[in-house]
Amino acid sequence: MKLTKEQSQEIKDQQSQQNKTKRVTAPELEKILYEAIPVLDHGFIRVIDYMGDDTSIVQSARVSYGKGTKKVSTDSGLIKYLMRHWHTTPFEMCEIKYHVKLPIFIARQWIRHRTANVNEYSARYSILDKEFYIPKPQHMSGQSTTNKQGRGLNLSRKDTEKFLNILKDDAERNYKHYEEMLNEDQSGEVKDDNKQGLSRELARINLTLNTYTQWYWKIDLHNLLHFLYLREDAHAQYEIQAYAEIILNKIVKKWVPHTYSAFKEFQLESYNLSKTAIEIIKKKLKGQKITFEKSGLSKREWDELSFKFKFK
């Protein structure tokens, strides 16, 4: 990730603000406010603004449940209770706003999370940066043979090199043609004053899906956790996991540490047993022998369950 001078200066200016407020603040999050945390080769995530902290969740839960919550004496205890019982509305009372730079193919997955606010850089108005996501060699994996949507073994070194060259060459050629059709370069400088460029909204259709875009993305904490639940998961595409991992461990952890712990304990690292699986576990705890054939599970379910609980 390389920031332009202009961007670096803007970040410095934003970080040098010293405002007074009566609102609650999250001091650990304030320390990294506006900072561009690098992701992938050219991407970044910046926290631009936030509202509330762990105490805000507690505060609104106590409004809902009134005296009913008095007995749960600690904030951390109440947050655990809420998370465990899927009482989600108190977590909606916190909000965070990010500035994200990300490849378009990732943006397309990300945007599927509808309960969020987005302002994306518009390539109808302005010229996209000349930046493309090119995977690292170790991420150039083949199609998984077991998981229809995932990656399997790495390719040969030769193919990896060859394919990386294809990705680079095609992205660059297409971008060069983009500038040519626009009759402008990426800084907006007109190339040939005697010529008219193709409209931006059309010229951009020549770009590849690994071109970087950027947006402001604002979301409440409950919906953010749901995003992380799906995108920090091993089944998500590696490139979006990379963003989710940073949001979870570098940002949410600093912002709402009690929520972070409760989320890991009761959701992220929890395991859902189906009705049939519950019965199997109960029988095994009583010492009964259960085989796949008598389990009532599909092969896939049985394999997953027996692996998870280390059936001999």
Q: Which of residues 241-260 bind a copy of itself (CB under 8 A)?
A: none
The whole-angstrom separation of Cα 203 and Cα 182 is: 6
Among residues 3, 150, 245, 292, the one that binds a copy of itself under rule CB under 8 A: 150
Q: If we measure between CA atoms, which residue out of 221, 245, 219 comes closest to residue 231?
A: 245
List CB contacts of 266: < 8 A, sequence separation 6 or more. 80, 83, 84
| 100 close to 44: Cβ distance less than 8 angstroms | yes
Reading the block at residue 246, the tokens are: 């940073």
Q: Closest Cα partner for 97 from 30, 48, 25?
A: 48
200 is catalytic: no
Q: Is 290 in the site for a copy of itself (CB under 8 A)?
A: no
From 46, 200, 204, 231, the catalytic residue: 231
1 binds a copy of itself (CB under 8 A): no
Among 40, 45, 58, 61, binds a copy of itself (CB under 8 A): 61
Non-local (6+) Cβ contacts of 282 within 8 A are none
Q: Applying CB under 8 A, which of residues 216, 241, 253, 290 lies at the interface with a copy of itself?
A: 216
Q: What are phi and psi of 30, to 5 degrees?
A: -55, -35
Which residues ranging from 128 to 147 are in contact with a copy of itself (CB under 8 A)?
Answer: 133, 135, 139-144
Name the residue among 150, 123, 124 with its Cα closest to residue 238: 150
Q: How far is the CB of 87 from a copy of itself (least distance, A)?
A: 10
CB of 293 to a copy of itself, least distance (A): 18
Which span (1-9, 37-45, 245-253, 301-309) binds a copy of itself, by CB under 8 A?
A: 301-309
User: What residue type is 256 in one-letter code?
Assistant: V
Site for a copy of itself contains 190 (CB under 8 A): no
CB–CB of 72/81 below 8 Å? yes
Q: Does 74 bind a copy of itself (CB under 8 A)?
A: no
Q: Which C-beta is closer to a copy of itself: that of 1 or that of 7?
A: 7
Counting residues that bind a copy of itself (by CB under 8 A) gives: 132
Distance CA 240, CA 143 (A): 17
> Least distance from C-beta 51 to a copy of itself, angstroms?
4
As measured in angstroms, the least distance from the Cβ of 67 to a copy of itself is: 5
Report 83-112 residues binding a copy of itself (CB under 8 A): 84, 89-90, 92-93, 95, 97, 99, 103-105, 107-108, 111-112
Nearest CA to 45 out of 255, 185, 186, 206 is that of: 255
The answer to whether 11 contacts a copy of itself (rule: CB under 8 A) is no
Q: Is 76 in the site for a copy of itself (CB under 8 A)?
A: no
Minimum gap (Å) between residue 248 Cβ and a copy of itself: 15
Residue 156 CA, distance from chain mean position = 30
Angstrom CA distances, 217 to 13, 98, 171, stand at 21, 5, 26
Residue 198 near a copy of itself by CB under 8 A: yes
Site for a copy of itself (CB under 8 A): which residue of 46, 130, 204, 258? 204
Site for a copy of itself contains 163 (CB under 8 A): yes
By CB under 8 A, tell whether 73 contacts a copy of itself.
Answer: no
Check residue 231 for interaction with a copy of itself (CB under 8 A): no
Side chain identity at 42, as an amino acid letter?
H
Tokens of 125: 């108005």
Cα–Cα distance, 156 to 171 (Å, whole number): 22
CB of 61 closer than 8 Å to CB of 80: no
Q: Which stretch binds a copy of itself (CB under 8 A): 1-9, 36-44, 199-207, 243-251?
A: 199-207
Residues annotated as catalytic (active site), given as ranges: 231
